[in-house]
């Protein structure tokens, strides 16, 4: 019986020739990640054990990004805990304010994860790195803490769903529309504890930023991980950002999949997830008249340079609708700098938007854009659960940067074609 990409990576890291779905294995880890919310929980648990130090100071990443720069005393104490632990154990990849960014954009940018590797993170969107052909998945803080001191983790080998992408997307359709469409098809538990494995000639038509966005939201379909094949674009990205050696794994021709779905990218339209689940999708044409109060363009899903360029193309020479709060959040310092050098920040500010330092901030209802009762936001973030971005009576509509930017101009859910673009 053949193996999927994910199964091959897990087999190699467990020292086994083959694995099969449902099998319990213990696998070596190439990277262990935590942030300022989940890190302190793991650290406090690890400190109860006899293990005096981490398994490898170069294979742990600690990124204060959720409530950093500190929004209050409690968040300051959390960041202090992570900072002191990193210093005590001489952890190489600790990113302080000024160097940090949103973790799932920062780690690939810094070259800390490459194809064929394994990564666990105490954050559910750790599955982002599957865009590089790595196995990466979110775990609880206790599992993450154990990974920090042992360099290993237990896994149940996931079965898989094959997603065949064909065709070429139209100009204003991005990776965000692809993953929202898929989640709308299969539901938020449609891939529960399975590997979403993307393939097909359409993959070549997607940029790396598109792939990061898609892999990032695999968890929103319940998936254990999402993963893409390694092609020329992947290799070019890794060679630009990393000095690490990578390993390319390919699924066997006789690999077993529980289901198979085909998505023709050329037929996709700009898509929005209505409250209060990512599966509650409609095309913008189906959305009707939905007036909004706020737009957020950023997050680990859509805060990369390509996302900002798309938003700037739409906002250039236009003004944000009166009364619409528009918040732009570059995902890392490097992206912030690049956006500044390209003149994107000037476009945003002249349009009436504000530009924030890199932070998760409003995505999880943290800060920098909390919603009041009855308010609605179009956001490029990844979740729209009840109360996700603030008051339980607020509403979040998930969308691409193109839809978010167009909506900022019109004051209602819109797409660029409504602006004559």
- Each residue of 120-174: pLDDT tens digit? 999 999 999 999 999 999 999 999 999 999 999 999 999 999 999 999 999 999 9
Structural domain 5-263, CATH architecture: 2-Layer Sandwich (3.30)
Each residue of 278-319: pLDDT tens digit? 999 999 999 989 999 999 999 999 999 999 999 999 999 999
Distance CA 324, CA 408 (A): 6
Q: What is the pLDDT of residues 231-240, one digit of tens each?
A: 999 999 999 9
DSSP secondary structure string, 239-252? Answer: HHH--S--------
Per-residue pLDDT tens for 18-37?
A: 999 999 999 999 999 999 99
CATH fold match for the domains 5-263 and 271-419: yes
Q: Helix H segments across 121-252?
A: 141-150, 175-186, 208-216, 232-241
Would you say 27 and 153 are in contact if contact means Cβ atoms under 8 Å apart? Answer: yes
**Cα–Cα distance, 228 to 210 (Å, whole number):** 11
Residue 74's pLDDT is what? 93
- Quick count: other Cβ atoms within 10 Å of Cβ 59? 22
Pairing of strands 152-156, 24-28: antiparallel
Antiparallel, parallel or unpaired: β 31-35 and 60-63: parallel
Radius of gyration, alpha carbons of the chain: 20
Helix axes 232-241 and 208-216, enclosed angle (nearest 10): 90
How far is it, in rounded angstroms, from Cα 102 to Cα 80? 18
Omega before residue 69 within 30° of 0, cis = yes
In this predicted structure, the answer to whether residue 46 has a pLDDT above a threshold of 90 is no
- Phi and psi at 27, nearest 5°, equal -115, 145
Q: Looking at 36-105, which runs of residues are DSSP E strands?
A: 60-63, 93-94
Question: CA angle, 234 as apex, 233 and 238 as ends, to 5°?
Answer: 120
- The answer to whether 179 and 272 have CB atoms below 8 angstroms apart is no
Q: Where are the domains of the chain?
A: 5-263, 271-419
Fold adopted by 271-419: Aconitase; domain 3 (3.30.499)
Please report the pLDDT score of residue 156 as a whole number. Answer: 97
Does a cis peptide bond (omega within 30 degrees of 0) precede residue 276?
yes
Residue range 58-85: average pLDDT? 94
Tokens of 68: 């950093």
What lies within 8 Å, CB to CB, of 229 at 6+ separation is 5, 133, 198, 199, 203, 250
Residues of the chain by 3-state class (helix, strand, coil), percent to 5: 40, 20, 45
In 3D space, the residue among 166, 220, 168 whose CA is nearest the CA of residue 196 turns out to be 220
Q: What is the pLDDT of residues 375-397, one digit of tens each?
A: 999 999 999 998 999 999 999 99
Question: What single-letter DSSP state applies at residue 301?
Answer: H
């Amino acid at each position: 019986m053949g193996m999927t990409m994910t199964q091959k990576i897990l087999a190699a890291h467990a020292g086994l020739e083959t694995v099969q779905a449902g099998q319990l294995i213990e696998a070596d880890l190439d990277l262990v990640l935590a942030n300022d919310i989940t890190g302190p929980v793991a650290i406090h648990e690890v400190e109860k054990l006899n293990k005096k130090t981490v398994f490898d100071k170069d294979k742990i990443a600690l990124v204060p990004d959720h409530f950093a720069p500190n929004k209050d005393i409690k968040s300051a104490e959390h960041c202090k805990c992570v900072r002191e632990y990193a210093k005590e154990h001489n952890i190489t990849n600790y990113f302080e304010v000024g160097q940090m960014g949103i973790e799932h954009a920062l780690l690939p940018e810094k070259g800390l994860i490459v194809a064929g590797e394994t990564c666990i993170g105490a954050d559910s969107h750790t599955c982002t790195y599957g865009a590089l052909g790595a196995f990466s998945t979110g775990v609880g803080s206790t599992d993450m803490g154990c990974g920090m001191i042992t360099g290993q983790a237990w896994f149940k080998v996931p079965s898989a769903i094959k997603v065949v992408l064909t065709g070429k997307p139209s100009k204003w359709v991005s990776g965000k529309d692809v993953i929202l469409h898929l989640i709308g098809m299969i539901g938020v538990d449609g891939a529960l504890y399975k590997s979403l494995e993307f393939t097909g000639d359409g993959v070549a038509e997607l940029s790396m930023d598109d792939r990061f966005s898609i892999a990032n939201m695999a968890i929103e379909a319940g998936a254990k991980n999402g993963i893409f094949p390694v092609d020329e674009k992947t290799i070019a990205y890794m060679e630009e950002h990393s000095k690490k050696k990578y390993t390319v794994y390919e699924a066997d021709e006789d690999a077993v999949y529980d289901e198979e779905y085909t998505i023709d990218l050329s037929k996709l339209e700009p898509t929005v997830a209505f409250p209060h689940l990512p599966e509650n999708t409609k095309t913008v044409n189906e959305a009707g008249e939905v007036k909004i109060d706020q737009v957020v363009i950023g997050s680990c899903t859509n805060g990369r340079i390509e996302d900002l360029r798309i938003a700037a193309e739409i906002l250039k020479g236009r003004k944000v609708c009166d009364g619409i709060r528009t918040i732009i959040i570059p995902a890392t310092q490097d992206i912030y700098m690049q956006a500044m050098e390209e003149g994107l920040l000037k476009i945003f500010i002249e349009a009436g938007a504000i530009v924030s330092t890199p932070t998760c901030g409003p995505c999880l209802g943290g800060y920098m854009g909390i919603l009041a009762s009855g308010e609605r936001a179009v956001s490029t973030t990844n979740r729209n659960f009840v109360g996700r971005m603030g008051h339980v009576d607020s509403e979040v509509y998930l969308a691409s940067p193109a839809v978010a930017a167009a909506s900022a101009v019109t004051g209602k859910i819109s797409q660029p074609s409504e602006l004559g673009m």
